[in-house]
Structure 1
Amino acid sequence: MKKGWIALDIDGTVTDNVYEVPRPVDDYLHSLVDKGWNIVFITGRTYSFAIKPLKTLSFPYTLGVQNGADILRMPTKEKIFRNYLSSDVLAIVDEACKGQKEDYLVYTGYERGDSCYYRPDRFSKDLLEYFEVLKTLATDPWVEVKSFPLEELKGFPLIKCFGTEEDMYKVSEYLAKYPDIKTSVIRDPIKKEVFLTMITNKEATKGNVVRFVCRKEHPNLPVIAAGDDMNDIPMLVEADVKIVMENAPKKMLSLADIVAPSASQHGLIQGLEKAIKKYDA
């Protein structure tokens, strides 16, 4: 018998390691699936980067990548939903980033190899050195261009801007006047001093993954959600029980029904145990 849904961010929630889900967390989630809980991972990562820590999982789950631009049934990779941007957005983002120190990346989506287009002459030396690190973490091909190939980018899932927290909020505020665009500002999960503005189709949010999948497939079942950064807020708002990791931004803690220890302490287990008690009683 199905008991409900558990919607989980990956970085900083399930794991603090870009390469793997800790064995105790893996085992605990597997035990919940065996008891009738459905697991959905919802991440800002590309598919090829998201699958790295999830590759050891031996249970079925749903995966929303790039904040829900693509939603897949795993391990079959059956496509459930897709919400992409059009190439018209690139000119708008160019205007939003005018005067910024750093530029942005454009991702093509998992069916086109998760290629990442970037203009290296518009990034600082520090960011370019960081990109060399990122290239080692996933199989995404990085493609250097002088200008973005509009014909190849008629539809794509994500733009990722880089900069200071202040600059990223300026970009987000500029883009807020465009109703078909959704932005979220988060701290980079690896280079903590860098902030990102994640730009997606307005329908590609973690909250919509909960609506499109959890609420649609089993509308009467409860949803428990856990996250640690600002792009997790739409997912938490949609959930019946909200778990926020203790190291999350302070403004998120007020949303929490449960505050869990950090991912480095496998705190998700403790948070889920408290949440599930409500439904196991």
Structure 2
Amino acid sequence: MKNSKYKLLVVDIDGTILDINNRISDIDKRALKDVVDSGIPVALSTGRVVQASLRFLQQLELDGYHMFFDGALVYSPEKDEEVYVDPISAEIIGEMIEFSRLVQLDFDLYSITHFFAERESWATDIRRDFFKLDATIVDFSKIQHKERFIKGTLVVSSAEEKQKARDFVDHFNSKLNFSWTKTPAYPDVDFINIIANDVSKGKALKALTSFMGISLNEVAAIGDGMNDIPLLTSSGLAIAMANAPDEVKAIANHVTLDVDHQGVAEAVRKYIL
């Protein structure tokens, strides 16, 4: 190995190992298997919920602990074990429900095991078709005190919806943490992840490394999104994808190839193994 000091590799999913066709290339799969076989654990770090990540863990044959919900949960699906969790308070959930109804903007809510929506829509269709998630349709006000919600999401496409989403973000900016993300499969759709105010992928990484008994300097991380910046800046080795925004590239130690050219495999070959 070139850098035996690395004891953990953390990899984002969408736009990093998952391409525009919602696939992980065989080359990237092989590279991550080589990392695991070398004795370095691989953890996925994603804004996705647990259920929408399981098939990728299976494809990559990864067990262990991973970061979900933009860092609000560090969890082993295999063991059903939480290392760290920071849910949104029931009080703030109630305020979100009230404001969203006022401006007529739908949003989703997620527990560790379920996806909730108040009605079927094109956004729930995307969840079903792309993320393989089926919504539980329910009046949010009836479950706000019964469920532990880890994340909410605004899914917007039109100019009007995007303006309402900006209004929502402005209204709750001091109480919640927002990250605007995209997936190549739906280039015109914005996914705004909503998590508790002090949550980040960086904070989740600190919880995971503490649990593992390793230092942040012993972590290599690869990502492409704005929500990956806290992860990358917390890691000993930060690698940005070529398809990442300039702000992400600016804080990385290295920039690898884009997702459609197996940037993860290239990074593993050049910097990890």
* Structure 1 and Structure 2 fold alike (TM over 0.5): yes
Partners of 1:93 and 1:225 in 2: CA distance: 33
Q: What CA deviation, in whole Å up to 9, does each residue of 1:91-133 have, x standing for no partner?
A: 33246547756321111222xxx2322345xxxxxxx235324
1:176 paired residue among 173, 188, 205: 173
Which residue in 2 is equivalent to 1:52?
55
**CA positional deviation for 1:59:** 4.3
- Aligned pairs for 1:9-28 (under 5 A) are 9-16=12-19, 20-28=23-31
Partners of 2:235 and 2:108 in 1: CA distance: 31
**CA positional deviation for 1:249:** 1.9
1:251 matched to 2:254: no
Query: Quick check: 169-178 or 233-242, which moved more?
Result: 169-178
2:200 paired residue among 202, 205, 224: 205
Which residue in 2 is equivalent to 1:124?
none
1:272 matched to 2:265: no
Which residue in 2 is equivalent to 1:116?
116
List alignment gaps of at least 5 residues for structure 1.
121-127
**CA positional deviation for 1:47:** 1.1
**CA positional deviation for 1:135:** 1.2
List alignment gaps of at least 5 residues for structure 2.
none
Q: What CA deviation, in whole Å up to 9, does each residue of 1:178-231 have, x standing for no partner?
A: 2xx322122245322121221112343211121001255212751111111111
1:159 paired residue among 130, 149, 152: 152
Distance 1:159 1:151, change over 3 A: closer
Partners of 1:100 and 1:193 in 2: CA distance: 22
Of all paired residues, the percent bearing the same amino acid is: 20
Partners of 1:229 and 1:17 in 2: CA distance: 15
User: What is the letter of the counterpart of residue 187 of structure 1?
Assistant: K
Partners of 1:100 and 1:16 in 2: CA distance: 34
Q: What CA deviation, in whole Å up to 9, does each residue of 1:149-168 have, x standing for no partner?
A: 23564421110012356654
Q: What CA deviation, in whole Å up to 9, does each residue of 1:1-44 have, x standing for no partner?
A: 87421111101101216754322212211111222212111111
**CA positional deviation for 1:250:** 2.4
| Residues 169, 185 of structure 1: 8 Å contact kept | no
Which residue in 2 is equivalent to 1:72?
75
| Residues 175, 183 of structure 1: 8 Å contact kept | no
Distance 1:37 1:256, change over 3 A: same
Partners of 1:152 and 1:92 in 2: CA distance: 13
- Aligned pairs for 1:135-150 (under 5 A) are 135-150=128-143
1:227 matched to 2:230: no
Partners of 2:198 and 2:208 in 1: CA distance: 13
Q: Secondary structure, in 3 states, of the residue corresponding to 2:59?
A: coil
- After TM superposition, the score normalised by the length of structure 2 is 0.84
| Residues 216, 236 of structure 2: 8 Å contact kept | no
Question: Alignment RMSD, CA only?
Answer: 2.7
Q: What CA deviation, in whole Å up to 9, does each residue of 1:223-278 have, x standing for no partner?
A: 1111111111111110121111111122222112111111111111112333326x
Which residue in 1 is equivalent to 2:186?
191
Q: Secondary structure, in 3 states, of the residue corresponding to 2:51?
A: helix
1:105 paired residue among 91, 99, 108: 108
Partners of 2:38 and 2:72 in 1: CA distance: 29
User: What is the letter of the counterpart of residue 86 of structure 1?
Assistant: S
Distance 1:215 1:139, change over 3 A: same
